[in-house]
Amino acid sequence: MQSKQAVNDFVIKFANVNGTGSASANGMFAKAIFRMGIPVSPRNIFPSNIQGMPTWYEVRVSEAGYLGRRGGTDIMVCVNPQSMARDVEAVDPGGYFIYDSTKPLDLRLIRDDIHYIGIPLTEICLREYTDARQRLLFKNVIYVGALAALLNIDFEILKNLVGDQFKGKEKLITPNIYALELGHQYAHEHFTCPMSIRLEQGRTVAKHISDFDQILMDGNTAAALGAVYAGATVAAWYPITPSTSVVDAFDKYCRRLRIDPGTGKKNYAIVQAEDELSAMGMVIGANWNGARAFTATSGPGLSLMGEFLGLAYFAEVPAVLIDVQRAGPSTGMPTRTQQSDVLAAAYASHGDTKHVLLFPATPAECFEMTLQSFDLAERLQTPIIIMSDLDLGMNEWMSPPLEFDDSHTYDRGKVLSHDDLEGMSERFGRYLDSDGDGIPYRTYPGAHPDKGAYFTRGSSKDEYAAYTEDGQAYVRNMDRLLKKFETAKTLVPEAKTKQASKATEYGVMFFGTTASPSYEAVEILEAEGIALDTCRIRAFPFNTEVEEFIRDHERIFTIEQNRDGQMRRLLINETGVRAKSKLVPVLEYDGLPITARKIAATMRSYILESNVTSLADRQPVEELTS
Amino acid sequence: MQSKQAVNDFVIKFANVNGTGSASANGMFAKAIFRMGIPVSPRNIFPSNIQGMPTWYEVRVSEAGYLGRRGGTDIMVCVNPQSMARDVEAVDPGGYFIYDSTKPLDLRLIRDDIHYIGIPLTEICLREYTDARQRLLFKNVIYVGALAALLNIDFEILKNLVGDQFKGKEKLITPNIYALELGHQYAHEHFTCPMSIRLEQGRTVAKHISDFDQILMDGNTAAALGAVYAGATVAAWYPITPSTSVVDAFDKYCRRLRIDPGTGKKNYAIVQAEDELSAMGMVIGANWNGARAFTATSGPGLSLMGEFLGLAYFAEVPAVLIDVQRAGPSTGMPTRTQQSDVLAAAYASHGDTKHVLLFPATPAECFEMTLQSFDLAERLQTPIIIMSDLDLGMNEWMSPPLEFDDSHTYDRGKVLSHDDLEGMSERFGRYLDSDGDGIPYRTYPGAHPDKGAYFTRGSSKDEYAAYTEDGQAYVRNMDRLLKKFETAKTLVPEAKTKQASKATEYGVMFFGTTASPSYEAVEILEAEGIALDTCRIRAFPFNTEVEEFIRDHERIFTIEQNRDGQMRRLLINETGVRAKSKLVPVLEYDGLPITARKIAATMRSYILESNVTSLADRQPVEELTS
Amino acid sequence: MTYLRPNFRHPDSPTNRLGYTRQHYEGGLSTLCAGCGHDSISASIIDACFELNIEPHQVAKLSGIGCSSKTPAYFLNGSHSFNSVHGRMPSVATGANLANRDLIYIGVSGDGDSASIGMGQFAHVVRRNLNMSYIVENNGCYGLTKGQDSATSDVGSTSKKGDINMYSPIDLVRVAIEIGATFVGRSFSGDKEQLVPLLKAAISHRGFALLDVVSPCVTFNNHQGSTKSYAHVREMNDAMPVDFVPMRQEITASYDAGTTHEVCMHDGSVVRLHKAAKEYDIEDRQSALQAIADHSKEGRILTGLLFIDRDGEELHDSLGTARRPLNELSEKELCPGSRFLDSINAGLR
Amino acid sequence: MTYLRPNFRHPDSPTNRLGYTRQHYEGGLSTLCAGCGHDSISASIIDACFELNIEPHQVAKLSGIGCSSKTPAYFLNGSHSFNSVHGRMPSVATGANLANRDLIYIGVSGDGDSASIGMGQFAHVVRRNLNMSYIVENNGCYGLTKGQDSATSDVGSTSKKGDINMYSPIDLVRVAIEIGATFVGRSFSGDKEQLVPLLKAAISHRGFALLDVVSPCVTFNNHQGSTKSYAHVREMNDAMPVDFVPMRQEITASYDAGTTHEVCMHDGSVVRLHKAAKEYDIEDRQSALQAIADHSKEGRILTGLLFIDRDGEELHDSLGTARRPLNELSEKELCPGSRFLDSINAGLR
Ligand SMILES: Cc1ncc(C[n+]2csc(CCOP(=O)(O)OP(=O)(O)O)c2C)c(N)n1
Ligand SMILES: Cc1ncc(C[n+]2csc(CCOP(=O)(O)OP(=O)(O)O)c2C)c(N)n1
Ligand code: SF4
Ligand code: SF4
Ligand SMILES: [Mg+2]
Ligand SMILES: [Mg+2]
């Protein structure tokens, strides 16, 4: 059997039992590779359960700097008997299966096309430790040590990581390093290290990463930082996977940054609401009253916020909602990823409504877009929904460092201050389109003793906020809201388009976490001589780049992680150009991030076929979509 | 000034103060014309308020049998000083303004192009009655009496109506008839009766009504009867205008039909829930347990039901929801009509969801479709949403009599009985697609001692209803749900298409309450030599007729009562044919039903223009849409 | 539509310490039914604010949906107001209060708005002891949707249709005391003498002040057999008189300590209860519940200040938020700047 | 994923009157954390149903979302089950019960599921006195989302992070008694002796039976400083012993009337409380509330059957629904047919 050869380019997967402390050990493994200057992208594939169920941790090492999932598994580290059968199968031919050899391997699990590396983890732990908890925890550290030898991880880096991790709990450092050494030693004694798949430090840096000045962080933390930098002072939320860590992180940073040194009092307020309806109500109340407030949730919460989103749209109250999407419908798969709330968010609530959506693709964008979302919300006086997802929000991503320009100033939007009102001769009209951009002026409660007070309501009103059932006044208001949505197009982040090296009638559109694997797929095909232009959508309403991109291509693959091609539908509906016959859906919705291989394969076969039958005669092939 | 001449073809409008008993008098007026065998369509235009605000009652008399709004007002009966100025303006040139002349008319209200008919209503009441309440109530009856003379209403019919109305309260009959006579007499003494606009009995019957075997009823009552006939035993609801009268009527009929004569016990249960979330939860629980259950609501309630609708879709529990639409977004205009919940209903809830919608256009269809919706819900094991609206639900419509075929039997769908289970050798798989139509078999709780029990959940499951996070099982399930939606296309009511007398590239699509005025508009244009084929959509998912209709026409006007052309968007998205460049939106969203005149005018100008510029070069002109 | 009143003002109409006349505290013309209890409550709110010398623009009015929830349009035209969605006013009020703790928050709701669809949010705003006055205009029915029973309708009370309510009522007063409200009163829209001082006390209270005000719906629930009709409430009302003595005003007339009981509020003002009324310790939850139960056993309605906890922590205390309103903090104060971000980046390498 | 247990059965394992072994009442293997209180409650439910000789398929299990709400998968495999959405189980249970009044309804919820997001539905299902057993597996936190405080968390109780809860707790037991529940008990997952008979009584009760069972979350809320930890509850539990004597079984051992108090249930079975426990009249709401308050004042937790109203009307009584389940009515019985429709049409001409 010939074994796979790979340097700085492979996929390794850990099969563990959740609640056994494997997460931190696995994290340390990924971080070590990262610190070696080799691009890495780890992914937690965990159950909706607290303890005792199978959980996986997939780490892609890619010198080229591809961060999306590649597909396949070169090395499987299996320490969970429950899932061993599945895990053996998952290994690519020529790959490695590393397991706890304390008990001999079930013969039915022997394949002749992969390598087996047994390490008696349990045995070592029984020998070395008496305490049951230690035996459980150090098992993980030991296999990391072994992998250091097998894959050629810089051992010093590992040791330093242990140091960082246990800052404050120093007495834990030595035993952990000892455990690392146990594994390291065992591997060295029993196997030829490194193996054919391995790491090498200091090779040419990934072509996607100018220099290796990168950070490793998850999107939820980045979004939370964005809220901190945006000056959000109120967060109201209700816990739900995978959005919980957004507010947790916001809390963490506020405790560091927002406590008045003198009084010890908080310059922020975080309230855990009784449910999502209430959370959104609080966000609306706070924004109405001039504070920047936000909430974070996932699908079920979004559904519950529908009525309030409609109120905010119609009464024109700013609001920021971070939707960290998971696999729906209903409870669905709470710990799996999807991009399936696109339509529900864009058209949330009854009646004629449309909402502004932002689609971050990296932690850096989670930071920037959350920062920007508060400006947009206050400028447009409407809810801004940030469409993140579990993959982006909860996994650690390599990302350029977060940047903030100190000359940045908040755009608080059209708010009349006490002095503005004082100076006003004409009567204040809350819903007057004074500037012709569809955006009216607002006032904060208490702004002025006898000017600027108005009545906010979800019912029909005239330009002076007076209740009305007059059809014409209603229509004027609804048309102004449409005009405002047009204005939004000029304010939201523009799409990012990229031309292929040669002219092509083919394009690819994607957004959020489908970006990385899509870019990779495009390069795979480019190498094969198939050229594709790319367009990364970053916001709804769609701005001109998007329409032009569709106009300029004959066939455009739309890469999404949902069943119904929701972004494709939104594009068909909300652009002024012919799109339906052009947009070819490429979909993945099994709850795991779509892989570059899958995208490439789907586009390749479609294009090769098209070279036979002319494009004109072909409708977008829905069957293409898995 | 020449005065308008019209026999059995005019629009008369009453301007009243709400809460003053005008509704019943006005209703009697309309009913009398109806009993004369002359087509009539009354509409209540009332405020979101209980007492003291302006309210209007518009009655269209149309020998041709047009039931939609025509536009314009020939006769205004104004008994509300608050709105008098507006009301005078509203009268078409040559028309009549009938008012309470007790106080002389404000000179500023005098127009030289309309007729004024003053009747001292207050004065007469002061003279005739001592009791304040009587003075208030009889004022209405008196002007109806006067109108009888002015318009030539058969007085006997009026008298009989009084008789019917006060069955049980006989002592009220004489005073009411007396009041009628007071008005009748006064008119005869002071004016030439009948006037130039009038009624004539026994003329050729409306061409739209084979014979005049018609009833006058509101859609909500008809829907309630549909639920009764469908064998609905559980209704859970939360009050909201304009849907409240659905459950009120259901209650009324159940009290008549569903009380066990022996025990006096109820063979039905109506629960007023604490809110709409709860109402939908109860409907789901009852259907899950084998009873036919439904709820009725309007926009805000629909938004609140989002999460539960997603559960019912994904867990595959039948449910019937009657959405009587009103003007949104948010609280909007609660007593105005719209068709603006189309997208919110079709895509309700997060994740990949699609829901079956039915679009009744007449009371008869409210009855039939509600009856059918329970069969569909149980056959498809999914929520069925009946998209009615305020205009259809709360106004009285002329309609062919309700029909029920006694040979009709309920389709309870795929339910395994005790004996089915008993006879089953293989293991029961709740979510197995045994028949290849995407529809699995269900069992009721308690069906069998040791077979058929399963776990219902909103989370991902395999074919045997076991919880799973396996991506492939999830995908199989989601794909089956899509297949089921395909099956739905073959079961929902087909669209009704109608060919113009001559071949044409133009078509018109409409649904629900836009049907009547659209048919009328088409005939107006036909008379002018402009031919249009018509397609009345009756359900989503769209069946083949709809796709063919779009394929077969170059330009299709889509008539809707919302701002965003929601049905047009749904057509573009959910049909396999090129639609975007063909569908020309014709929209009305001021809260009043769209008029035939408006539809005709919009289509006419578009078509005449097109004769200049060729169609090919023209995009659907959004500006057309008011 | 709410018309504004003609701005005629009587030359010698009395003014308060701020120099405002009562008219300054009025709102648009009511569109409610003539005789609706809610209008009397609006009038009492106007009196209370006038007499408390409140700056209208320092008040924020919040409500849900219903006839009751419309009333903020009928008082304090000079205040901002938020007529939100049905049953969800508490959350909007909470957010507003978090943003600016310095305004006076007056919430108006109905029994349907609070006890039916709003039950969850009501319970939780009580629990958080949000600093606001929460007025439930309780008519035992859904006025705006034409008279269906609400969750506060008493067992055996008949609807206009004649149906008898079979469900045990939710008494928001009891639930509030149960869940930790710090100021709970009940009153009757027809009893201005009691309602106005109660409103003043509620507004002066620091924390969540609930006033459940029985407010008959003349159109749908004022008939024989209804326990929320004017007649019934007038007959069954056991009203405990309440005086309110604002902070600044020193107590003049000396009362015989035996006949009165004085509760000193957080801001120094005083609620004076007459001995007759002080039949139990209003600062003890259990005895308050007991007293209410004793009366209702006889079908009587005990009204007045029913319970008070003068030093409960309001939401901002629990959260430990800074004294200065959050909506006043500047970008400079809130934004950490690039330096801190560098340290964050460093930690992630 | 829930694996089925190996179907091995010990030959002489005891059987109940129906000839079923206890195993017949088991469910799938639990996926909860080792030591989770919820698993003990599932075990007690299994015992209760086994001992009550219930046909599993005559039971419908309902739950919301949470670790607690997962547990219906771990008992009574032979019953249909509905794991609905978070906080909304009461409405689903209500609908189910309306459709078929003959099944036994067992609802399982959590403190977050019932006291936070579910507060409104909880209050209203109590109010309607739905005939079901409603078990709250109360650990004072959100287990499934990793341990945030829930609304039942006591003031001063510290979270695992070390934060101290500042909000007054919602005691579902008190609220239920307040709003009209007809059977209210509290217990502790660690006290099978008390919990099993309580469950049997709850299931036998006709109407809404609430059992608030303190059920420690070993992973997130079992630390020092938590008032929902095993240690704390064991120490503070004032347990009133409960015996349950099923209907058919005539009472053998004669007790000294002085030491025991017997409550005869609707179906003839008897709940026997020991004198020690019978420190107040459990059929009077106020004294029940008083007793609970007295204990909690000392930081003690009073457990046992706390209140019972034996002849309250359950929802079907209030509605006057027919004896026969609505889901059994045939088309013939339900559909009026064309004749009636003709009369309707006639009336509309
Ligand atoms: C989500 C939602 N459901 C239903 C309604 C309809 N609705 C308006 S007011 C109201 C009840 C009002 O009752 P209450 O709060 O007691 O106020 P009242 O009119 O009696 O003063 C209802 C059900 C609504 N506006 N929104
Ligand atoms: C609408 C909605 N919001 C949030 C969640 C996330 N969630 C799942 S379980 C849970 C709380 C569970 O707490 P509890 O009811 O006490 O059950 P426990 O896990 O403690 O037994 C939450 C917030 C959800 N599933 N649905
Ligand atoms: S309906 Fe009742 S509550 Fe509403 S305004 Fe009229 S009287 Fe008041
Ligand atoms: S997290 Fe807590 S509640 Fe959930 S299973 Fe574990 S111990 Fe039980
Ligand atoms: Mg009310
Ligand atoms: Mg819990």
Q: CB–CB of C3/C28 below 8 Å?
A: yes
Average pLDDT of C26-41?
A: 97
What does the pLDDT look like over C130-140, one tens digit per residue? Answer: 999 999 999 99
Helix or strand or coil: residue B363?
Answer: helix
Q: C119–D124: do the CB atoms touch at under 8 Å? A: yes
Nearest to D120 among C119, C178, C290 (CB): C119
Any ligand 3 atom below 6 A from CB of C218: yes
The percent of residues in chain B predicted with pLDDT above 90, rounded, is 92
Spatial CA neighbour of D255 closest among D238, D239, D278, D282: D278
Whether residue C343 is predicted with pLDDT greater than 60 in this model: the reply is yes
Nearest to A274 among D1, D34, D116 (CB): D116
Q: CB–CB of B329/A350 below 8 Å?
A: yes
Whether residue C277 is predicted with pLDDT greater than 90 in this model: the reply is no
A626 and chain B: CB distance < 8 Å anywhere?
Answer: yes
Any ligand 2 atom below 6 A from CB of D67: yes
The percent of residues in chain A predicted with pLDDT above 90, rounded, is 92
Average pLDDT of C255-274?
A: 77
Whether residue B88 is predicted with pLDDT greater than 60 in this model: the reply is yes
D285 and chain C: CB distance < 8 Å anywhere?
Answer: yes
The percent of residues in chain D predicted with pLDDT above 70, rounded, is 92
Alpha helices, H only, chain D: 37-51, 67-70, 89-99, 111, 119-127, 172-179, 192-204, 230-236, 285-297, 315-319, 331-334, 337-347
pLDDT of residue D2: 40
Q: How confident is the model at residue C236 (pLDDT cuts 50, 70, 90)?
A: very high
The percent of residues in chain D predicted with pLDDT above 90, rounded, is 84
What does the pLDDT look like over B180-197, one tens digit per residue? Answer: 999 999 999 999 999 999
pLDDT of residue D278: 53
Residues of B in contact with C151 (CB under 8 A): 274
Polymer length of chain D = 349
Q: How confident is the model at residue A613 (pLDDT cuts 50, 70, 90)?
A: low
Spatial CA neighbour of A117 closest among A53, A210, A190: A190
Mutation pick from D121, D124, D168 vs chain C, by most beta carbons of C within 10 Å, is D168
Any ligand 1 atom below 6 A from CB of C88: no
| Two tokens, residue D270 | 């008897």
Q: How confident is the model at residue B212 (pLDDT cuts 50, 70, 90)?
A: low
| Two tokens, residue A412 | 């608080």
Residues of C in contact with D285 (CB under 8 A): 293
Q: Could you give the angle at the alpha carbon of A212 between the alpha carbons of A211 and A213, nearest 5°?
A: 95
Average pLDDT of C23-48?
A: 97
Residues of A in contact with B331 (CB under 8 A): 311, 457-459
Residue corresponding to tokens 């000892």: A178
pLDDT of residue B1: 75
Mutation pick from A457, A464, A469, A470 vs chain C, by most beta carbons of C within 10 Å, is A457
pLDDT of residue A316: 98
Residue of C nearest to A216 (CA): C348
User: How many Å separate Cα D19 from the centre of its chain?
Assistant: 26
Any ligand 2 atom below 6 A from CB of D314: no
Residue of A nearest to B345 (CA): A350
Which H/E stretch holds residue A211? none
Answer positive or negative: Cα dihedral of A602, A607, A608, A614.
positive
Average pLDDT of B108-132?
A: 95
Nearest to C94 among A216, A282, A444 (CB): A282
Average pLDDT of B33-57?
A: 94
What does the pLDDT look like over B454-511, one tens digit per residue? Answer: 999 999 999 999 999 999 999 999 999 999 999 999 999 999 999 999 999 999 999 9
Q: Which of C145, C189, C218 to mutate to test the pocket of ligand 1 (most atoms within 8 A of CB)?
A: C145
Residue corresponding to tokens 């002849």: D311
What chains are in contact with C, requiring at least 3 Cβ pairs below 8 Å?
A: A, B, D
Average pLDDT of D168-195?
A: 97
Q: CB–CB of A366/A390 below 8 Å?
A: no
Instruction: Round to whole Å and give the CA distance between A8 and A6.
Output: 7
Backbone angles phi, psi at B116, to 5 degrees: -115, 130
Q: A303–B581: do the CB atoms touch at under 8 Å? A: no
Nearest to D95 among B230, B293, B444 (CB): B293
What does the pLDDT look like over D297-346, one tens digit per residue? Answer: 999 999 999 999 988 999 999 999 999 999 999 999 999 999 999 999 99
The percent of residues in chain B predicted with pLDDT above 70, rounded, is 96
- The question of ipTM being above 0.90 is answered as yes
What does the pLDDT look like over A568-606, one tens digit per residue? Answer: 999 999 999 999 999 999 999 999 999 999 999 999 999
Backbone angles phi, psi at A145, to 5 degrees: -60, -45
Residues of A in contact with B576 (CB under 8 A): 619
Whether residue B600 is predicted with pLDDT greater than 80 in this model: the reply is yes
Residues of A in contact with D142 (CB under 8 A): 239
Q: Could you give the angle at the alpha carbon of B278 between the alpha carbons of B275 and B281, nearest 5°?
A: 155
Any ligand 1 atom below 6 A from CB of C147: no
Strands ordered across the beta sheet of A234-237:
A269-272, A234-237, A293-297, A319-325, A383-389, A356-358, A539-540
Q: First and final CA of chain B: distance in angstroms?
A: 33
Angle subtended by helix axes D285-297 and D172-179, to nearest 10: 160
What does the pLDDT look like over A164-213, one tens digit per residue? Answer: 999 889 899 999 999 999 999 999 999 999 999 999 998 766 555 555 68
| Two tokens, residue B123 | 């004065």
What does the pLDDT look like over A56-115, one tens digit per residue? Answer: 999 999 999 999 999 999 999 999 999 999 999 999 999 999 999 999 999 999 999 999
Average pLDDT, chain A: 94
Say how many Å lie between the CA of residue B113 and the centre of ligand 5.
Answer: 48
Residues in Cβ contact with D139 at an 8 Å cutoff, skipping those fewer than 6 apart: D37, D38, D68, D110, D111, D150, D214, D215, D216, D217, D220, D221, D228
Residue of B nearest to C85 (CA): B331
| Two tokens, residue B445 | 């709780």
Q: CB–CB of A47/B469 below 8 Å?
A: yes
Whether residue D276 is predicted with pLDDT greater than 90 in this model: the reply is no
Q: CB–CB of D229/D216 below 8 Å?
A: yes
Whether residue C122 is predicted with pLDDT greater than 90 in this model: the reply is yes
pLDDT of residue B530: 96
Any ligand 2 atom below 6 A from CB of D269: no
C110 and chain A: CB distance < 8 Å anywhere?
Answer: no
What does the pLDDT look like over C279-324, one tens digit per residue? Answer: 789 999 999 999 999 999 999 999 999 999 988 999 999 999 999 9
Q: B482–A563: do the CB atoms touch at under 8 Å? A: yes
Q: D80–B453: do the CB atoms touch at under 8 Å? A: yes
Say how many Å lie between the CA of residue C97 and the centre of ligand 5.
Answer: 25
pLDDT of residue A484: 98
pLDDT of residue C256: 54
Q: Which of A607-611, D32-36, D256-260 has the lowest mean pLDDT?
A: D256-260
Q: How confident is the model at residue C259 (pLDDT cuts 50, 70, 90)?
A: low
pLDDT of residue B207: 55
User: How many Å separate Cα A102 from the centre of its chain?
Assistant: 39
Average pLDDT of B60-79?
A: 95
What does the pLDDT look like over D120-151, one tens digit per residue? Answer: 999 999 999 999 999 999 999 999 999 999 99
pLDDT of residue C265: 85
Of chain A residues 445-474, which have a CB less than 8 A from chain B?
457-460, 469, 471-472, 474
Nearest to B466 among D1, D103, D336 (CB): D1
Q: Which of D65, D139, D222 to mutate to test the pocket of ligand 4 (most atoms within 8 A of CB)?
A: D139
Q: Could you give the angle at the alpha carbon of B408 between the alpha carbons of B403 and B414, nearest 5°?
A: 135
Q: B285–D94: do the CB atoms touch at under 8 Å? A: yes
Say how many Å lie between the CA of residue D232 and the centre of ligand 6.
Answer: 17
Nearest to D85 among B233, B234, B308 (CB): B308
pLDDT of residue C253: 47
Q: CB–CB of A201/A36 below 8 Å?
A: yes
Alpha helices, H only, B13-68: 22-35
Residue of C nearest to B18 (CA): C33
Q: CB–CB of B299/B385 below 8 Å?
A: no
- Indicate whether this model's pTM tops 0.80: yes
pLDDT of residue A580: 93
Instruction: Round to whole Å and give the CA distance between C217 and B17.
Output: 19
Average pLDDT, chain D: 92
Residues of B in contact with D316 (CB under 8 A): 269
